[in-house]
Structure 1
Amino acid sequence: MSGSTSAGRMKTLSVLLAVTLCSWLVTCVPTQEKKDRIHHHKDLSDHKHDDSKDFQYDHEAFLGKEEAKTFDQLTPEESKERLGKIVDKIDKDKDGLITSQELRDWITRSQNRYIYENVNKHWKDYDKNKDDKISWEEYKSTTYGYAADEEAFYDVVDKERYRQMMKRDERRFKQANKDGDLIATREEFTAFLHPEEFDYMKDMVVTETIEDLDKNGDGVVDVNEYIADMYTPESDEPEPEWVNTERQQFKDHRDLNKDGKLDHSEISHWIHPHEYDHADLEAKHLVYESDKDKDDKLTKNEILENWNMFVGSQATNYGEDLTRRHDEF
């Protein structure tokens, strides 16, 4: 009777642990690979870039689409005041001059604002000691604590799989953590969670992509592994035409050295294709159009004098349609 009771308790415990694990995974999950592996530099606005007609493209590029809508509702005076606060944020080295690189960094951040907002939303889940940083130990404990430490979980999850995922996350965390102290700032933690959006993390994305696709462990990706990432055939089902097209794509455009496999360089060329860096082009455009003394840098006054290109405004419906806080910056 006692053995039966003990077994029943263990079964109940396993069920409770499974439920707890599922709940835990909703908010604190290991980083996951992306099926959409090609990360094109997206354009910065849906509007046509034609400054002879309007500056809407520049507004959305500089501010992001949603924030540009907010500025559209401000008076010119308030728009310029908020632009001045933004310029102070852009000037990272506080030398009073804005370079095209600093502008590019700002534009990139504006375009990825939704990512930063999501990180901020869940920041407190990881920052256990409330020091506004997240250590590897904090992340590991929050994400893997149960799976790593509770023996009962071994009946519910694949222990080895979680250990491998933890190793991979630790490697990525170290890459994102620029100073090597294994304590991430918000910027570094964002790079850890969204490496595809950061230039210095692109090599890590390539490495992880190879690991995801390379099923036989030879360090390269053959055509069958490449196809398997996109298509799993049913039994006795003929391959769809699009799969044949992808095989030809592999042969003609992915396998650059024609050896039948994709190495690190070829994978990089595939998922990070060489194309225009829209943020860089827009930053240089804004500098060119606002640089009165032609020193290839902008002062705060030069930006404010050309404020309408950067942010713009309209006086109509001011106050009635303004829905966002004015003190965001």
Structure 2
Amino acid sequence: MIRPLLMCVALCAVSATSKPTKKDRVHHEEALSKLDHNDLENFDFDHEAFLGTEQAGAFTELLPEESKRRLGVIVDKIDSDKNGFVTEEELEVWITHVHKKQLYKDEDHEWGDIDKNKDGFISWAEYKDFTNDANAGDDNDTTIARDERRFKFADKNGDMLADKEEYAAFLHPEEFGHMKDIVVQEAMDDMDKDKDGFLSMEEYIADMYTPEAGEEEPDWLDEERKHFTEIRDQNKDGKLDRKEVLDWMVPDEDHSKIEAQHLLHEADANHDGKLTKEEILASYSVFVGSQVTNYGEALHHDEF
């Protein structure tokens, strides 16, 4: 079933009774794995980040030698300049590629329901028909207009046909750099009540909290006002411009880069800042699993 495009506007409980509540408009980049990242227990998070969920599971069924052989094939793909070394940048590109493939795969379950003519694309008309059936209601016209604008923004070539990447950008704008402007615009449409192109303190707070009759103001509002003044309002002019809204709503999170640095640290035996195939295969259990992963041998890092 299609997910609401305003999925970032989640209601988070701040008390045991769920009142009062506030909206969290921050778009966090989706994690590389849903597993906990705890290398003291296992490298399962790293396996999913490096291979993707499905492939990580498949590797656990392999004998160690076959797991290493397949890892070697992957290393050759990662070494894009074919100089015999894998750099942090090449690892980052690979992990980003795997992550994007996972996003596309996650949408496959609904793709067939929307792509009625089975041409391998989702047209705006197909998407509109599907959402009209799924989300009929008084606000449907407004939602459809908003969705159409985002669809057009994600549609790089302007043909109103979304391939897997464009559709993923439509559903997960926080994951694609070219979609950041639409994330900000959608927020401004909702929050900028006087339409002056800025968010005042009052508009910022009003979006998070609307008091009910006789209700005491929650303590967290003081903290939010402090955040607005000391953190969000970077130029201290008493309001948020579009750049400041972007910095608030789409934090500079680069999970692929962090994971690339982590894997490099784990496998870089000679500490030269790059990896040979031999170094990666020697630390294969950090990158991939197998039927008989020697976990203790892989724990070579000093901090543990």
Same fold (TM over 0.5): yes
What is the count of residue pairs matched by the alignment?
Answer: 273
CA distance in 2, matches of 1:127, 1:298: 44
Q: Among residues 35, 43, 46, which one is paired with 2:36 in the alignment?
A: 46
Distance 1:71 1:168, change over 3 A: same
2:68 corresponds to: 80
CA distance in 2, matches of 1:120, 1:95: 32
1:10 corresponds to: none
2:5 corresponds to: 31
SS in structure 2 at match of 1:173: helix
Instruction: Give ranges in structure 1 of 5+ residues lacking alignment.
Output: 1-26, 148-155, 317-329
TM-score, normalising length: structure 2: 0.71
Q: Among residues 193, 201, 210, which one is paired with 1:215 in the alignment?
A: 193
When you count helix as a share of all residues, which structure comes out higher?
1
Quick check: 1:283 aligned with 2:257? no
Asked if 1 retains the 8 angstrom alpha-carbon contact of 2:268 and 2:275, the reply is: no
SS in structure 2 at match of 1:38: coil
Task: Give the Å deviation of 1:264.
Answer: 0.4
CA distance in 2, matches of 1:57, 1:145: 38
Distance 1:211 1:88, change over 3 A: farther
What aligned pairs does 1:172-251 form with structure 2 within 5 A after superposition? 172-251=150-229
1:17 corresponds to: none
SS in structure 2 at match of 1:217: coil
Task: Give the Å deviation of 1:57.
Answer: 5.6
Asked if 2 retains the 8 angstrom alpha-carbon contact of 1:63 and 1:110, the reply is: yes
1:324 corresponds to: none
Instruction: Give ranges in structure 2 of 5+ residues lacking alignment.
Output: 10-23, 294-304
Asked if 2 retains the 8 angstrom alpha-carbon contact of 1:30 and 1:169, the reply is: no
Q: Deviations over 1:192-234 (max 9, x none)?
A: 0111122221222122122222223222222222122222211
Q: Give % identity.
A: 49
Structure 1 letter corresponding to 2:8 = K
CA distance in 1, matches of 2:176, 2:38: 26
2:292 corresponds to: 315
SS in structure 2 at match of 1:128: coil
CA distance in 2, matches of 1:194, 1:81: 35
Q: Which piece of structure 1 moves more, 96-105 or 216-225?
A: 96-105
CA distance in 2, matches of 1:217, 1:195: 23
Which has the greater radius of gyration? 1
Distance 1:60 1:115, change over 3 A: closer
Structure 2 letter corresponding to 1:63 = L
CA distance in 2, matches of 1:75, 1:303: 17
Task: Give the Å deviation of 1:191.
Answer: 1.1
CA distance in 1, matches of 2:230, 2:26: 17
Distance 1:178 1:213, change over 3 A: same
Distance 1:280 1:28, change over 3 A: closer
Asked if 1 retains the 8 angstrom alpha-carbon contact of 2:268 and 2:274, the reply is: no
CA distance in 2, matches of 1:54, 1:166: 45
Distance 1:264 1:240, change over 3 A: same
CA distance in 2, matches of 1:295, 1:182: 44
TM-score, normalising length: structure 1: 0.66
Distance 1:257 1:214, change over 3 A: same
SS in structure 2 at match of 1:229: helix
Distance 1:117 1:57, change over 3 A: closer
CA distance in 2, matches of 1:146, 1:46: 34
CA distance in 2, matches of 1:303, 1:184: 38
